[in-house]
Amino acid sequence: MGAVLRQGGREVKNCILSPGGISFCTRRRTATRRGRVGFTLVELLVVIAIIGVLVALLLPAIQAAREAARRTQCVNNLRQLAVASLNHHDVYKHFPTGGWGWFWVGDPDRGFGKEQPGGWAYNLLPFFEQQALHDLGKDGDPDVLSRDQRSSASQVVQQPIAMITCPSRRPSEGVFPMSTNNGGNSGLFNSLTPDFAGRSDYAINSGHVQNEIGQGPRNYNDAKTFAWQSDQRAMQEQLTGISYERSEVNLRRVSDGTSNTYMIGEKHIFYEDYLTGRDRGDNETWCTGFNNDNFRVTSRDNGTSEAVPIADSQPIPAGENNIYRFGSPHSGGANMAMCDGSVTTISFDVDWQIHRDLGNREDGNPASLDGLK
């Protein structure tokens, strides 16, 4: 027969007693109450602290990886601009001209030489898949400027260009406040003047001597008798770079060697003014003619004083401004494209005379990148 044995009122066994008095028992499972599982407050705080430490360790690495990617994109931009300049040379037998003055922008009816008022970046548009933008407003008449053409030019001025934007500085689709009052005038000569404009983070090398002609002639008729007609020879001797006012520099004139001469590089912009338009070297548009927004030099005082690249975060030396220096938001140095299409980083600590000579295409000084590596 079956019997239930109890111990302390708790059922523990189910037993069967045989006729001979022998019992066969099986243990029954009893339900037990399990305790709750969870974190204590101390354990939770420890986990949060560990996560915080991991984030603190990983965040700089993530930021460094992002900056490395942006720097790589900047180098690629410069390389493509250098290739575009060389392709321009193949077609027109000279590097892109520097245009006229700061109140002139590109005109699609005036070709690609010294009669083109727009600067180097405008002249490169067809060579990096921006032919339609270059040709906006074209009507075939180089001497007549209608309001429709001025309106079209204004659209070009306001167009941001990813190829000439450093991603470490500002978004490629951005437009920024534009200066409309330089030299006592209040507008562009061959365009309606917008309040905002696209910018370039890169400048072409105009040589080792600072020179800027200002606003340029007032109109196309004025250009026929403007002062550059009489001092062109002197200006050509003074400006020793790749592009400048009305330039048509070809490879034969790069006698120091294409691998030893700067073509295009990052320009200095004070970091607080990336978006404001207050920096005097970054207050107009990417397609203006010869002015310090888009052209930089490699020394001051006719080649007797330094103008090495400086970091965007570095204070400007006392008694000068930044509008003629190359520079960079990246650590260590500025990216520079050479006339052979290569790109290198020039240290902020570069010897100033080597930097000066790399900006002069034909001085005969034995400056080369080999001494910087």
- Residue 232: helix, strand or coil by DSSP? helix
Residue 330 is predicted with a pLDDT of 95
Q: Where are the alpha helices (DSSP H) in 180-325?
A: 220-223, 228-238
Q: What angle do CA 95, 192, 139 make, to 5 degrees?
A: 60
Extents of the domains making up the chain: 69-372
Residues 63 and 55: beta-carbon distance below 8 Å? no
With a CB cutoff of 8 Å and minimum separation 6, the contacts of 77 are: 162, 163, 164, 165, 166, 202
Residue 179 is predicted with a pLDDT of 73
Residue 17 is predicted with a pLDDT of 52
Tokens at 153, concatenated: 């030019």
Residue 285 is predicted with a pLDDT of 92
pLDDT one digit per residue (tens) for the chain, 373 residues: 545 545 555 554 555 555 555 555 555 555 555 555 667 887 788 888 888 888 888 877 777 888 889 999 999 999 999 999 999 999 999 999 999 988 899 999 999 999 999 999 999 999 999 999 999 999 888 988 899 999 999 999 999 999 999 999 998 888 888 876 555 555 889 999 888 999 999 999 999 988 766 777 888 888 888 776 555 566 666 789 999 999 999 999 999 999 999 999 999 999 999 998 888 889 889 999 998 899 999 998 888 889 999 999 987 777 776 688 999 999 999 999 999 999 999 999 999 999 999 999 998 887 777 656 5
Calculate what percentage of the chain has a pLDDT beyond 70. Answer: 82
Average pLDDT, the chain: 85
Sign of the C-alpha dihedral computed for residues 219, 187, 103 and 92 taken in this order:
negative
Closest CA to 188 of 160, 165, 219: 219
Q: What angle do CA 261, 318, 214 make, to 5 degrees?
A: 60
Residue 227 is predicted with a pLDDT of 74
- Residue 203: helix, strand or coil by DSSP? strand
Kindly provide the b/e burial profile for residues 166-181, where b requires at least 16 CB atoms within 10 angstroms of the residue's own CB: bbbbbebeebbebbbe
Residues 99 and 120: beta-carbon distance below 8 Å? yes
Residue 174 is predicted with a pLDDT of 80
Residue 62 is predicted with a pLDDT of 79
Residue 166 is predicted with a pLDDT of 95
Closest CA to 168 of 332, 320, 340, 287: 332
Residues 242 and 263: beta-carbon distance below 8 Å? yes
